Structure 1
Amino acid sequence: MATNENITVTKKKTTFIKKVDNENIANTSCDLIDSENEDTIIEQNRKRRREILEKFVTSSHDDKCESAKKDENIDESASGNDKIVNQIRSPRIKRDMFSEDDDFAPINVFFFFFFLYNLELPLVNLYVSEHVTQDNEYNPQLIDNWDDSEEYYNMRVGDIIDSRYTIKRILGQGVFASVVRAHDNKNGKEDVAIKIIRNNDLTYKSGLKESSFLKEINDADINNRYHCVKFIRQFMHKGHLCLVLESLHMDMRGVIKKYGKHGLDMKVLMSYSSQLMLALRLLEKLGIIHADIKPDNILVNEKKNTLKLSDFGSASKVEDNDATPYLVSRFYRAPEIILGIPYKHGVDIWSAACTVFEMATGKILFTGSSNNEMLKCFMDYKGEFSAKLIRKGKFKNQHFNYNNNFLLNKKDELTGRERVIEICNTHATKNLYSALKKSANYLSSQDDRKLRQLKDFLERILVYDAHQRMSILDCLKHPFIQK
């Protein structure tokens, strides 16, 4: 029997290869590899790993695997193994962690864990945590994946942005941005609203324009008397422009839905109307057109006694406005916008009147499904347009013929096809006072008098010709608003 000094340490390694995918790899029994040379064992293991990699690594990793195979000086230490594992864990194809579809080819599960076993790496290193802190700029799990497919910022309640604001609630999402309520951790946990602009050039420029308007408005209203939302600051986060605004309780549409299904109380309505006109008065002084006044863009505080005008994303200076038939949300769109007539602050006054009617009744005043139907809704209350006003319209041919007769585009109920109906005489068929009174509950003599004042207030605003429309200053002096 040989002495202990002459005994060579023999290592045994078991390899078991099963049939993978549809290739005819024969099942083999455990093959004991005995060798007296440790270098020979290492070389055999290296060749086997290369063969497995060449067969099973997906096409998305071919380039990296090929470069590894050509390198004759690959280190078999832990760092070398890490390189191979990274080829599997880090594909070249950029993936969106929020998408439902995988952009990478599947890897055979058996092979993957078999491969890890041979490398003798702990599986715990491959565990990906579900708890992600979005404030970490270098988090490898989220790099380039902050946005959804429409370039909105992906957020979650509890996330911290700008190392300062903890998201408390997601309030909503509009065309240009998402809005969240957050705690300001540097200012006594005070609540703020943060408008997170979509991540593209168009919305970024719009956001910068909005912030400039907000700064101008705040500078002109130091004492906070004109009921426009207060602007606090702005910052960039993950490629998104963020505007920090004062936080208010809810929007006017929510107030109407909750408290005014049949109209708000008359005193509340008078107060809200006055505050809204004060906001428009400040914008008029500054030469700013809001261009999107509606209940959704009017906010109230928790006590419901203060109103603030918000969302200046569509705002412009008077001298910069261009004729476009789709400015302002459709139900609140003034006739000069639809017809393509040059416009000024009158478009905001018209929208405000539509909003006041909605607060008074709980119903939308003009409900056309298109610009053409909106004109028909106007005429149901106000009668026909004058030929002089029609001739000024850039888009008049879309709605009127050469005789200035209205062309109503209507869908045939039987065929479903669009057809044009020429209407020669368009007379008013609806009464504004009846519409107001229909939605009101039992009225005292004093409330009925105020309702008639409201009717006069709205009729003097809802005039086709913006030059004959009641001015904002006259609105503030009107008996309906005056107590």
Structure 2
Amino acid sequence: MADSYSRHSQNKSTKYQKDANMMKSKSRRSKYSDQKYHKVESKTPPLPTRSTSTLEDLIKKRESLKQELKKIVKHSDTSTNKDSKKRRHSKEDYAYEIISSKKSYKENETKPNTNSKRKSYHESSPEVEHTQADSEDEETIIQRRRQMRKQLLEKLNVSQDNKNSGNSEPDTEETCSEAQTIKSITGNEVTHNISKQVTDMFAEKDDFESNATSNNVTHNDNESNLNLTDNWDDTDGYYVIRIGDVINNRYTIKSILGQGVFANVVRAQDNEDGNDYVAIKIIRNNDLMFRTSLKEIAILKEIRQADPDNKYHCVQYFGHFTHKGHLCLLLESLHMDLRSVIKKYGKHHGINLKALISYSRQLLLALRLLKKLGIIHADIKPDNILVNEKKNILKLCDFGSATKCDDNEPTPYLVSRFYRAPEIILGVPYKHGVDVWSAACTIFEMATGKIMFTGSSNNKMLKCFMDLKGKFSSRLIKKGKFKDQHFNYNNNFLLHKKDEFTGREKVVEMYNIPITRDILFELKKSYKNAFVNEEKKLIQLKELLDRMTMLDTSQRISVTDCLKHPFILEDVEKDTIKKQ
């Protein structure tokens, strides 16, 4: 029994010893493995167990990973942008840094005891410079470079002064070497005068100097500077008028009278001829306008020769000159145009009957002179008729559209539309009758304060004519070059109008056009409280207007016969008896 117990205890102790030996060997292995493989660490995450993960959990995890990835990418982009901003330098900056480093190096050689603060930036190593640029913000860097450039430019100015005085050859060579350095880096040509050529792009003020404007430019009134044409003209070629400017070293602009298709018109004071006032027509800077104005000058000269005593109510022509590339016509100055007179004294009811007769007579005298010279004015309207300050003299102006009687071609847009004769719209050959028609429209407007024909197009104008005068004759229609635009093969009128419902343009054939207007009624409406003798003059005026507005130009009254008409010849008789 004792032997068995001793054997059992002996086996147990040997077993414990074996276990201890195994533990020691394992500890030695772990130490050895730790020493050998301590740098290798497994970062692979453990595989998910099937029991704990579902499809929904996996989808949620994937979404969260995507969000985290986006945040990481965004953070990296912003950090790279900040770094790139800090490291962004232009070629000119690099050039200045090289130049300034050279100058500091030379200063250090000549002055060994200089302050270390002055050379700390340029003598620092690239690593230190890079860390400084990264640590400081962009504003500080820009400020420091401004100061460096300022010092450099001051030194370059000093060297340039020394160069001009001829006392410093080394400074000149140094400046040339700096210029070559900048040229090699920026690719620009740099002259010896670097202080004037090089600009500071970080400067707060734009002190840039242009080589093209280095010399002072002086303006001469007699010569136009081609480089400064835009200063005198607007985009449409009109001369830009400034009150107080002196034209041709003689005429001071006082006011603007108006602007037309061809020119501006100003009122100016003649500084040489007794300070009298003149009108200057400044033609647009355009080849076509220039050629047209030469024709106008020729016509004005012909009128002046035919009327040396200034009796026939055409505006006087004094001469012409060129100013800033613009042809300028020197004309007689009058007070205001007839349209302004009608608005001021005869709006909605017409001007005084005596003034109407006087103005009509003077207008017809001007037309008779033009007919005698074989000239068609081709643009008679209240805007092109002027009156003096006393309002007793009328004169015809603006001969820009005037032509010779044998030098005209059919065109549907000659004369302003409200004063355009039917032969112009139809394309029938025309002569002085177009001026008679326009004069009739002008006289009616003076008498009533209203425009006689108000069509919005040539087609509507023909309809207005027929409302007053009836249908055109077939013989007249056949002569028209543009008849197919307004009449069909049966000579029936084709009215162009918009449909009330669709808004589209449609053509309506009109077989019969009744007369719907009465000129006498319209004239009497303007003179409601007329005397008996005034009513007689209104009847005469109605008869004269009927003859002046005949649709067929061959049947229209001539200018000479108009002047012989009772309405023009006879003045208003004194009468105190009002119409009952």
- TM-score grouping bracket, smaller chain normalisation: 0.7 to 0.9
| Correspondence list, 1:8-27, <5 A | 26-27=141-142
Aligned to 2:548: 461
**What amino acid is aligned across from residue 321 of structure 1 in structure 2?**
N
> SS at 1:368's partner residue?
coil
- Cα distance, 1:441 vs. partner? 3.5
CA distance in 1, matches of 2:304, 2:222: 33
- Cα distance, 1:414 vs. partner? 2.3
**Matching residue within 365, 368, 371 for 2:455:** 368
CA distance in 1, matches of 2:120, 2:275: 62
Aligned to 1:75: 192
Aligned to 2:203: 111
**What amino acid is aligned across from residue 456 of structure 1 in structure 2?**
E
Greater Cα offset, 209-218 or 139-148: 139-148
Aligned to 2:286: 200
CA distance in 1, matches of 2:238, 2:195: 39
Aligned to 1:184: 270
- Cα distance, 1:310 vs. partner? 0.3
Aligned to 2:80: none
CA distance in 1, matches of 2:339, 2:508: 35
Aligned to 1:401: 488
Aligned to 1:232: 318
Aligned length: 423
Aligned to 1:435: 522
**What amino acid is aligned across from residue 424 of structure 2 in structure 1?**
I
Q: 1:266 to 1:43 in 2, by over 3 A?
A: same
Q: 1:9 to 1:442 in 2, by over 3 A?
A: farther
| Correspondence list, 1:61-72, <5 A | 66=188, 68-69=189-190
- Cα distance, 1:415 vs. partner? 1.8
CA distance in 1, matches of 2:547, 2:229: 56
- Cα distance, 1:142 vs. partner? 3.7
Q: 1:169 to 1:24 in 2, by over 3 A?
A: same
Q: 1:449 to 1:146 in 2, by over 3 A?
A: same
| Correspondence list, 1:15-414, <5 A | 26-27=141-142, 29=144, 42=175, 46=179, 54=186, 66=188, 68-69=189-190, 74-76=191-193, 81-82=195-196, 84=197, 110-111=202-203, 113=205, 135=221, 137=223, 142=228, 144-261=230-347, 262-414=349-501
> SS at 2:395's partner residue?
strand
CA distance in 2, matches of 1:10, 1:164: 68
Preserved CA contact (<8 Å) 1:207 1:313: yes
**What amino acid is aligned across from residue 203 of structure 2 in structure 1?**
F
Q: 1:111 to 1:429 in 2, by over 3 A?
A: same
Q: 1:9 to 1:193 in 2, by over 3 A?
A: farther
Percent identity of equivalent pairs: 59
CA distance in 2, matches of 1:15, 1:473: 99
CA distance in 2, matches of 1:480, 1:351: 18
**TM-score normalised by structure 1 residue count:** 0.79
CA distance in 2, matches of 1:9, 1:351: 98
- Cα distance, 1:111 vs. partner? 3.2
Aligned to 1:474: 561
- Cα distance, 1:411 vs. partner? 1.2
Aligned to 2:59: none
> Deviation above 2 Å: which 4+ runs of structure 1?
6-16, 23-34, 37-52, 110-116, 132-145
**What amino acid is aligned across from residue 303 of structure 2 in structure 1?**
I
Q: 1:13 to 1:321 in 2, by over 3 A?
A: farther
Q: 1:13 to 1:477 in 2, by over 3 A?
A: farther
- Cα distance, 1:416 vs. partner? 1.7
> SS at 1:75's partner residue?
coil
Preserved CA contact (<8 Å) 1:289 1:315: yes
> SS at 1:341's partner residue?
coil
Preserved CA contact (<8 Å) 2:224 2:323: no
Q: Deviations over 1:138-174 (max 9, x none)?
A: 7799455321111111120001111111111111111
**What amino acid is aligned across from residue 470 of structure 2 in structure 1?**
G
CA distance in 2, matches of 1:376, 1:163: 53
- Cα distance, 1:40 vs. partner? 8.2
- Cα distance, 1:435 vs. partner? 1.3
Preserved CA contact (<8 Å) 1:134 1:161: no
Task: Give the structure with the higher percent helix.
Answer: 2
Say if 2:504 is the partner of 1:417.
Answer: yes
CA distance in 1, matches of 2:239, 2:415: 25
- Cα distance, 1:113 vs. partner? 3.5
Preserved CA contact (<8 Å) 2:229 2:324: no
Q: Deviations over 1:207-231 (max 9, x none)?
A: 0000110010010001111100000
Preserved CA contact (<8 Å) 1:229 1:246: yes
Q: Deviations over 1:240-268 (max 9, x none)?
A: 11100000000000000111111000000
CA distance in 2, matches of 1:7, 1:81: 25
> SS at 1:272's partner residue?
helix
Preserved CA contact (<8 Å) 2:224 2:325: no
**What amino acid is aligned across from residue 413 of structure 2 in structure 1?**
Y
Q: 1:475 to 1:403 in 2, by over 3 A?
A: same
> SS at 1:337's partner residue?
helix
- Cα distance, 1:439 vs. partner? 2.1
CA distance in 2, matches of 1:195, 1:288: 21
- Cα distance, 1:440 vs. partner? 2.2
> SS at 1:480's partner residue?
helix
**TM-score normalised by structure 2 residue count:** 0.66
> SS at 1:389's partner residue?
helix
CA distance in 1, matches of 2:304, 2:341: 26
CA distance in 2, matches of 1:149, 1:412: 39
Q: 1:138 to 1:206 in 2, by over 3 A?
A: closer
Q: 1:7 to 1:368 in 2, by over 3 A?
A: closer
CA distance in 2, matches of 1:272, 1:9: 100
CA distance in 1, matches of 2:487, 2:327: 44
Q: 1:43 to 1:50 in 2, by over 3 A?
A: same
Preserved CA contact (<8 Å) 1:133 1:159: no
